[in-house]
């Protein structure tokens, strides 16, 4: 079978060929087995509610930040709206999805697989004209042993979206690094990131094992087990028949409180281990904190409000933006600059996430801060209106004027005014 080249890949994306995930066709060997006896892969991990909440929180938060292509102008800066790259990352990276869905999906790949990839479709002017998401489970980074150049091995699935041909694996394709937007997470060499699912498999496995234990505990009517004793000796057929009869009549949540009838002098001993003896609830709560710790997310942001108050929630939310989301934003901005910036734009263009909206606090705090800025001359009314997503004042109404208090003077003092003769 002939393996398609780079142009064939791009044309396939343009024509709507699917690269959706198909079960059992991953490049890597799964699952990773945890000591809790649970096999962990990336799909299984997402069934754990705390893990799902963390992934969703990071992905949706980053995608909700407006991403702009900025341009420096002297000592100032402005949005480079006339550039196609501005529209590409702010509006729609490809004809099939808006920027929010694109960034959200890549961020999901990044925080779970440790890497995210997108194929760059360059035009004749060396400008990106489209970005297509590549599946991280079918992409591998490697260095060519002869040229020492960084390359990517990609194994796509080809097929029509209408299901007429069906998806099929066509083999490995080598893609040069300049055609791949690759954002790695924390890693050992700076080129590939660690998979969080792999690194946290014990933590995730324990959480899933506790969920399974709880489900089975209640599914069996809170009975962990029992012993039915018969005074005589049962043949193998009689033993199997009695066991089947007891299971059909008395096992399961719907039969938990039914009357049990025993014959021939049989006795029934119930085996129970109260959940509090195994610290079931405490362990489940601790695992939520553990998952949140892997992603540096305050527990209240994934639904754990046990120790939340009005004061500490606001402070933790600010710390989430500063210490969790800000490093992710910087990582994205620098890799976007490095991989997507056309050479003709030069170093005065750069990507920037707008995260100020999450740092503004409540209405009263914002207005007090604005008042300080206006009174001290480093904010104008139009600056404040822009921060509040409002239109500037009409011309001639002083919206662009910077003011200061009249009773203030430079710290070193004013020079003496020349006296009139």
Domain boundaries, the chain: 1-220+276-356, 225-271, 360-412
Which position has the token pair 């949140």? 292
121 exposure class (CB count in 10 Å sphere: 0-12, 13-18, 19+): buried
Query: What's the residue count for the chain?
Result: 421
If we measure between CA atoms, which residue out of 154, 131, 132 comes closest to residue 141?
A: 154
User: What residues have CB less than 8 Å from 19, skipping those under 6 apart?
Assistant: 13, 132, 133, 134, 135, 156, 157
Q: What is the pLDDT of residue 350?
A: 92
Q: What is the pLDDT of residue 415?
A: 54
Q: How many other CB atoms are found less than 10 A from the CB of residue 402?
A: 13
The torsion angles phi and psi of 308, rounded to 5 degrees, stand at -95, 140
Tell me the C-alpha distance between 162 and 224, whole Å.
Answer: 49
> Strand pairing partners for 121?
130
Pair 358, 328: CB distance under 8 Å: no
Instruction: Pull the structure tokens for residue 340.
Output: 């997507």
- Sheet with 150-154: list strands edge to edge: 139-143, 150-154, 173-176
Q: What is the pLDDT of residue 253?
A: 47
Q: E strands, 310-419, where?
A: 349-353
The torsion angles phi and psi of 220, rounded to 5 degrees, stand at -95, 20
Which position has the token pair 């002017």? 125
Note down pLDDT in tens along the chain; length 421 residues. 344 556 666 666 655 444 444 333 344 446 777 777 788 888 888 888 888 999 999 999 999 999 999 998 877 788 899 999 999 999 999 999 999 999 999 999 999 999 999 999 998 888 899 999 999 988 988 888 888 888 898 887 654 444 434 445 556 788 899 999 999 999 888 888 988 888 888 888 877 787 777 666 666 555 555 666 667 776 777 767 777 776 666 565 455 556 566 666 676 666 555 555 455 566 667 778 888 888 888 887 777 666 666 667 777 777 888 888 899 999 999 999 999 998 888 889 999 998 876 666 566 777 778 888 888 888 888 888 877 767 888 888 888 888 877 776 665 655 555 555 5
Which position has the token pair 């087990």? 225
Peptide bond into 38 cis (omega under 30): no
Buried b vs exposed e over 347-358: b needs ≥16 C-beta within 10 Å?
eebbbbbebeeb
């Amino acid at each position: 079978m002939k393996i398609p080249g780079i142009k064939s890949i791009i044309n396939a994306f343009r024509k709507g060929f699917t690269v959706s995930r198909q079960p059992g066709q991953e490049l890597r060997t799964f699952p990773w087995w945890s000591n809790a006896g649970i096999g962990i892969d990336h799909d299984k991990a997402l069934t754990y509610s705390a893990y799902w909440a963390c992934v969703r929180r990071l992905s949706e938060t980053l995608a909700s930040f407006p991403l702009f292509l900025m341009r420096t102008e002297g000592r100032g800066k402005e949005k480079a709206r006339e550039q196609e790259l501005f529209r590409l990352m702010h509006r729609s990276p490809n004809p099939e999805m808006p920027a929010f869905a694109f960034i959200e999906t890549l961020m999901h790949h990044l925080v779970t697989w440790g890497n995210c990839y997108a194929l760059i479709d360059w035009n004749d002017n060396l400008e990106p004209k489209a970005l297509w998401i590549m599946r991280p489970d079918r992409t591998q980074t490697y260095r060519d042993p002869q040229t020492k150049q960084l390359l990517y091995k990609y194994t796509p699935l080809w097929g029509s979206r209408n299901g007429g041909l069906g998806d099929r694996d066509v083999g490995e394709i080598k893609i040069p690094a300049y055609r791949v937007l690759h954002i790695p997470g924390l890693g050992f060499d700076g080129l590939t990131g660690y998979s969080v699912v792999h690194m946290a498999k014990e933590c995730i496995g324990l959480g899933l094992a506790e969920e399974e234990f709880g489900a089975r505990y209640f599914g069996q009517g809170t009975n962990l087990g029992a012993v039915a004793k018969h005074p005589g000796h049962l043949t193998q057929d009689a033993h199997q028949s009695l066991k089947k009869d007891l299971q059909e009549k008395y096992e399961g949540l719907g039969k938990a409180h039914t009357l049990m009838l025993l014959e021939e002098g049989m006795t029934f001993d119930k085996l129970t281990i109260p959940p509090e003896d195994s610290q079931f609830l405490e362990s489940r709560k601790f695992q939520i904190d553990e998952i949140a710790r892997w992603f540096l997310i305050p527990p209240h942001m994934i639904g754990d409000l046990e120790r939340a108050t009005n004061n500490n929630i606001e402070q933790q939310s600010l710390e989430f933006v500063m210490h969790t989301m800000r490093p992710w934003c910087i990582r994205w901005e620098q890799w976007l600059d490095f991989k997507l910036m056309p050479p003709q734009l030069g170093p005065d263009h750069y990507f920037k996430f707008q995260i100020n909206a999450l740092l503004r606090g409540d209405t009263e705090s914002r207005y007090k801060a604005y008042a300080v800025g206006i009174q001290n001359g480093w904010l104008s009314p139009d600056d404040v209106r822009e921060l509040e997503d409002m239109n500037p004042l009409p011309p001639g109404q002083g919206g662009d004027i910077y003011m200061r208090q009249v009773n203030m003077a430079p710290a070193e003092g004013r020079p003496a005014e020349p006296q009139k003769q």
